[in-house]
């Protein structure tokens, strides 16, 4: 039987991740290969298991679909800056 890997109970963090990270993370955890095409997301399993306390992304940019003049950016483990 394969080893069962668990995320530590009660673990919390403030590391920003995105849904684009799901495919690379789940592929890594399942031992599967990523598709041959370019993937924007990154493997975030180290964040989930508490081995990484800063973002695996070089930077993240968010926008509000309701109000296009609202933006936020984050780099590493920095706090988001709004309206940039």
CA pair distance 72, 21, nearest whole angstrom: 19
Categorize the per-residue pLDDT at 12 as very low, low, confident or very high, splitting at 50, 70 and 90: confident
| Tokens 């990484």 found at | 52
Report pLDDT digits (tens) over 30-67.
899 998 988 888 898 888 888 877 778 777 776 666 66
> CB atoms < 10 A from the CB of 79, how many?
10
Per-residue model confidence (pLDDT) at position 49:
85
Instruction: Answer for the pair 46, 21: CB distance below 8 angstroms, yes or no.
Output: no
CB–CB of 7/48 below 8 Å? yes
């Amino acid at each position: 039987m394969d080893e069962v890997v668990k995320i530590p109970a009660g673990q919390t963090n403030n590391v920003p991740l995105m849904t684009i990270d799901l495919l690379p993370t789940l592929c890594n955890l399942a031992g599967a290969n990523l598709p041959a095409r370019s993937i924007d997301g990154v493997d975030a399993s180290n964040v989930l298991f508490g081995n990484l306390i800063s973002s695996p992304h070089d930077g993240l940019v968010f926008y509000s679909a309701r109000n296009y003049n609202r933006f936020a950016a984050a780099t590493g483990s920095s706090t988001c800056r709004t309206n940039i």
